[in-house]
Copies of this chain bind each other. A is one copy, B any other.
Amino acid sequence: MASTHGTLFRISTWGESHGGGVGVVIDGCPPRLPLSEADLQPDLDRRRPGQSDIVTPRKESDTCKILSGVFRGVTLGTPISVFVPNTDARPEAYSEMETHFRPSHADFTYQSKYGVRNWEGGGRSSARETIGRVAAGAVAKKVLHSIYPGIEILAWVSRIHDIASDVDPATVKPDQIEANAVRCPDDRAAALMTERIKAVRSEGDSIGGQIDAVVRGMPPGLGEPVFDRLEADLAKAMLSLPATKGFEIGSGFSGTWQKGSEHNDAYVMREGSVHTASNRSGGVQGGISNGEPLLFRVAFKPTATIAKMQSTVTIGGEESRLAARGRHDPCVLPRAVVMVEAMTALVLVDHAMRQRAQDLLPR
């Protein structure tokens, strides 16, 4: 559904960048889960604008309020409504957008689809929409930790523009990721990335890059054959994030240069359990998790809104030029890390509930 995600753990986000605020309704959350705003705020803080000197300076504390579904500190099993007001909207910076389409932004496509659009800010296409996802993702993570105590969902910036990093998915730790504003757990690369982002911003330009993710402590058996394969749902979840252009799992595109005999993951026994000697599958086979770490990567394009002068057309069909004002991220990746984690958690908790429902009979 357009603004709803999930079969059993269902979230519906709402809100525009300039309007009364943004929020999410979470339906289907298990009851009796200890929960308060304090569980959501840390991830919202990792997403919020103004958190460092390499992101947009828009001033939003993004303080959330839970309006329903929680009673005396635990979830009721009924819908959890989370609300975050918009406090620093500046529609005046967008006056040209009423008539001009920003290149590679959603202005033209929204106008084509709906015949109307909120041109004060990005409207529904703004990254502010992801506040609801990140809040819901924090709830999903808490449910997952309750049922799989050893699970760890980690994402990080692995490359910005042409600056690559060296990170081991098997051992990377959350505090290494949070150690710098870029969220790249390779400090040397992070320093170069920071410098590059600042340089690009001062040019009025933007850059993109790649985010990598791992889920360690995965249970086997999650995911469905055919349409709702785990990697298919992850691909959809990632490509639903703003500015994404690609997804790959395990060996991804590079694995297509190998032969089957090189690519296959041999099974081995380890401590009495079935494991694979390598993990080119990225933790899924036939759409279902095999208990090895999930490994995937997401491509984020350079931010579309830039201060440099660009060619475009007007809503009246005249060729024109446009240089964006307003406050924008020169690079979305540092703030997108927590979005990737949130979407991963939302996909996993939904599949965990689906598997629990179907696996009814004694083994």
Contact = CB atoms under 8 A, between A and B. Distances in A.
Given A1-B7, A225-B2, A357-B353, A313 B274 contact: yes
Interface stretch (A42-50, A166-174, A180-188, A304-312): A304-312
Contacts of A151: none
Interface stretch (A19-27, A54-62, A334-342): A19-27
A226 interface: yes
A206 B256 CA distance: 11
Contact of A260 (B207, B274, B289): B207
A281 interface: yes
Interface string A227-249: 11101111111111010111111
B227 A109 contact: no
A109 B289 contact: yes
A265 interface: yes
A8 B350 CA distance: 12
Contacts of A110: 225, 286, 288
Contacts of A363: 32, 115
A146 B361 contact: yes
A360 B30 contact: yes
B116 A31 contact: yes
A99 B199 CA distance: 59
A322 to B, nearest CB: 9
Interface in A1-43: 1-5, 7-8, 10, 12-16, 19-23, 25, 27-33
Contacts of A12: 4, 12, 25, 27, 79
A259 B207 contact: yes
Nearest to A274: B313
Contact of A227 (B3, B78, B224, B284): B3
A66 B125 CA distance: 19
A237 to B, nearest CB: 8
Contacts of A234: 239
A252 interface: yes
A18 to B, nearest CB: 9
Chain A interface size, under 10 / 10 to 19 / 20 to 34 / 35 or more: 35 or more
Given A20-B68, A265-B103, A310-B264, A258 B208 contact: yes
A118 to B, nearest CB: 4
A327 interface: no
A149 interface: no
A214 B360 CA distance: 24
B228 A1 contact: yes
A110 to B, nearest CB: 6
Given A23-B81, A27-B4, A104-B285, A302 B355 contact: no
A124 B263 CA distance: 23
What 8 A-B pairs have minimum CB-CB distances, sorted nearest first? Answer: A106-B286, A246-B248, A206-B260, A20-B67, A236-B236, A109-B288, A357-B357, A14-B79
Given A2-B226, A78-B123, A109-B289, 7 more contacts: A2-B228, A14-B79, A77-B113, A78-B124, A256-B302, A260-B303, A354-B357
Which of A23, A78, A81, A312 has most chain B Cβ within 10 Å?
Answer: A78
Interface in A254-274: 255-269, 272, 274
Contact of A225 (B125, B228, B231, B355): B125
Contacts of A252: 245-246, 299
Contacts of A261: 205-206, 306, 308, 310
A68 B4 contact: no
